[in-house]
Structure 1
Amino acid sequence: MAVESVQTAGLGGASGTLTALVAADGSASHRFLARLTTGIAPMRDLADAVHQFCLLHARHPDVIEQALGHSDEGATAAWMAEAAAGFAAERAYIVRLVAAAGPLPSTPGQAQSEAAIAAQRHALDMLAQSDRTGCADGTVLALVLDWPAIRALLDIAGERLGIDPPASALPPPFETATVIDALAATLPVERAMLFGAQQMLAQHRGLWDVLEARASARDAH
């Protein structure tokens, strides 16, 4: 969804714009996530999602840690440090889920999937290390706002695997909204922040597309 479309929807402030972007273009609106979280999804599809999100986000340094080293925005410094600590716990949770889920489900076209996710990791690395003021911050803000939808899927997988989901330590939405509005003090920074956010959401949607294609390939095999 274009930023311009969101901005004309009558939402106030940068936090309203970014929240609207996440609602429109984030994970929660993807049909495959809806399929996995409605009813009883095949365990192989849940396991595949856990494995692929592990490949994308359970690296060290992760996206937030990289951005923390590149952002010099005082408005996001404390929030970013809190987000980095919280996401480290999320990474540990994903690793536990992967260990419990066992091997990656056998899927036709595995090499193409690996190449697609490697490209996504590279794109996220570039966003997190961007020298454009506000871009890395927007990338992380969108990740944190989009994560609850992903976390809902991870928790379903955890429950099926006998793992009690830990409480999230990511910053709460009201803190994130305050940071967004403080960061968007000038139009160039706001635009860079929204660009980073859009690109992060595009990578997540791309991964859901990959997961949907992989599930279809397994069903047809």
Structure 2
Amino acid sequence: MAFQQHKEAARPGAAEAVGALLAADGGKTHPYIASAIFARGREAARDLADAVHLISSLHGSHPGVVDLAQQRPPEEAVRGWLDAAAEGFAEERAYLMRTVVAAGPLPSTPGHAGCETAVAGQRHALEMLARSERNGCALGAAAALVLDWRAIRAVVDAAAQRFGVTLTPPALPSMRQTLGVLELIEAPAAERAIVFGAQQLLIQHRGLWDLLEARSGARVDALL
């Protein structure tokens, strides 16, 4: 999946802004995903199963965010990155789905009907971002997904280990490659659209982590 990036000098812009968004609102900063889900004792298996099921609800189908972004006519500077990201995400999706199968059924949780509605809304929001006609929006969403996938991957890996799935090496472009390709976008309107797409994707991910945390608490309360 190696690809060659252009070497042109680029002024700071979308890459710096997206990096700041990731540092502030990425999955690694959410308390549930950052640590709590790994410290639930005997509830950890159900929490991890719940997580991979809901992650697959957002990102387990094809075409996903990266695939839809790839379908839009990309600027030559980002074509290689999009191709590599789409190829890598196909591998990540297959790994996720093997883990979902090994995890078994979705854990029974009070209020599940409301959860289904919430996840459907998140999935629709992500699709709208990836299909946006605004130049740069789909790229921003795809880049944020690739960057934030590192936090998601930690959860998927933990679930894979728990349920006996062989771990696979990460397949997506690196953070350096991803931020590097965003530095090549110099049009101010496209930069703003990239930042918007990234911001909105991270908002949907934060909503997913909040939902998983609430579902974990509801299962605990149901046992009391």
Check whether TM > 0.5: yes
- For 1:18, the aligned partner's letter is V
Indicate the residue corresponding to 1:30 in structure 2: 30
Between the aligned partners of 2:189 and 2:13, the Cα distance in structure 1 is 15
Matched residues in 1 for 2:165 and 2:57: separation? 20
User: 1:219/1:71 Cα in 2 relative to 1: closer, same or farther (>3 Å)?
Assistant: farther
The alpha-carbon distance between structure 1 residues 91 and 204, as it changes in their structure 2 partners (threshold 3 A), is same
Between the aligned partners of 1:128 and 1:116, the Cα distance in structure 2 is 19
1:82-101 CA-partner distances (Å, limit 9, x unpaired): 00010011110111011100
Q: Distance in 2 between matches of 1:42 and 1:153?
A: 11
- Selected match of 2:156 from 154, 157, 165: 154
Q: 1:16 — aligned with what?
A: 16
CA contact (8 A) 1:73 1:134 kept: no
Partner of 2:174: 172
Tell me the CA shift for residue 204 of structure 1: 0.4
Q: 1:59 to 1:65 in 2, by over 3 A?
A: same
**Structure 1 letter corresponding to 2:141:** T
| CA-to-aligned-CA distance 1:24-71 (integer Å, 9 cap, x gap) | 111111111121135756100010001000111000111111111124
Q: Number of residues paired by the alignment?
A: 209
Which residues of 2 match residues 99-114 of structure 1 at below 5 A? 99-114=101-116
Question: Contact 1:127–1:135 at 8 Å: present in 2 too?
Answer: yes
Letter in 2 for 1:27: G
Give 2:9's aligned residue.
none
- Which is worse superposed, 66-75 or 44-53? 66-75
- Residue 3 of structure 2 aligns with which residue? none
Structure 1 CA distance, aligned partners of 2:83 and 2:72? 12
Q: Which residue of 1 aligns with 2:52?
A: 50
Percent identical pairs in the alignment equals 51
- Correspondence 1:1-221 to 2 at 5 A: 13-33=13-33, 34-38=35-39, 40=41, 42-183=44-185, 185-221=186-222
1: CA distance, partners of 2:164 / 2:118: 31
Give the CA deviation at 1:14: 3.0
1:153 Cα shift? 1.0
Distance 1:56 1:13 in 2: 29
Q: Unaligned 5+ residue runs, structure 1?
A: 1-11
2:25 & 2:209 partners in 1: Cα distance? 12
RMSD between superposed Cα atoms in Å: 1.3
The 2-side partners of 1:174 and 1:193 are apart by: 17
**Counterpart of 1:158 in structure 2: which amino acid?**
A
Distance 2:189 2:84 in 1: 25
Letter in 2 for 1:28: K
1:71–1:136 Cα contact (<8 Å) kept: no
Q: Shift of residue 72 of structure 1?
A: 2.7
User: C-alpha displacement at 1:77, in angstroms?
Assistant: 1.0
Q: The residue matched to 2:183 in structure 1 has which SS?
A: helix
